[in-house]
Amino acid sequence: MKLYIDSADLKQIAYLQEYYPISGVTTNPSIIVKENRPYLDLLKDIREVIGEDKELFVQVVGEKAEEMVEEAKFISRQLSGAVVVKVPVTEEGIKAIKRLTAENIPTLATTIYTPFQALIAAMAGAKYVAPYVNRIDNLTGSGVKVVSEIAALFAAYQLPTQILAASFKNVQQVHDVCLSGAEGVTVGTDLIKKFIDFPATTQDVDAFKQEWQNMYGVENVLLNS
């Protein structure tokens, strides 16, 4: 399982990377714009924070395949380290994925709402597909079911493409897609922190510490000599 940060907030990225087993950072145009900075400088700063080996996902904004391919090449030239280009699963996007795959530029097929969109993207050569779990739920579908069906299709046809599920509003959604065959999830900063935030855990830790202090008079196992 891979865990990615779905944010361009440098402070939060640095914090989460220090505490959590992060595989990289995903961005999209909305996330980039929110930071109100020159986008290329921001992406380079993210790279500096996460290092060269962790994946950085950057989305193209052109509508035609030719524009997407040129943007992807530009992104790959400008950014060092492991870069994955996000491409929407429009007809032009599938064409772009095919061309980029032929040129060994890794892609993630984004804006996935149906299993068949994911299948076509995988057949075109996408390294990852990103089903939008919560957005599917909001359209009266089941994001978890879509992830499960994508996983079944990939297994049936022995496709190497990985599922990187996106768009979450609660921990239960993340939990469910992890059980449904997703190889990775990309999650907002606030939600990642909720993965291990459970009141009973804090209560137990406090109780253990108090009992230890009552017995030994110190706060840790480094007893005073």
Residue range of the domain that includes 160: 2-197
- With a cut of 60, say whether residue 225 has pLDDT above it: no
Instruction: Determine whether 86 is an active site residue.
Output: yes
Assess if residue 211 is contained within a domain. Answer: no
Tokens 């830790």 correspond to what residue? 205
Mean pLDDT of 35-59: 98
pLDDT confidence of residue 222: 77
- With a cut of 70, say whether residue 224 has pLDDT above it: no
Residue 88 bridge partners (DSSP):
110
Q: Which is catalytic among the residues 86, 127, 145, 209?
A: 86
Assess if residue 222 is contained within a domain. Answer: no
pLDDT confidence of residue 218: 80
Q: Is 24 left (phi over 0), alpha (psi -120 to 50) or beta?
A: left
> Quick one: DSSP state of residue 151?
H
pLDDT confidence of residue 217: 83
- At 120-157, the pLDDT tens digits run 999 999 999 999 999 999 999 999 999 999 999 999 99
What whole-number distance in Å separates Cα of residue 82 and Cα of residue 106? 9
Supply the CATH number for residue 141's domain: 3.20.20.70
pLDDT confidence of residue 223: 66
| Whole-structure pTM value | 0.94
Structural domain total, the chain = 1
Token pair listed for 193: 């922190």
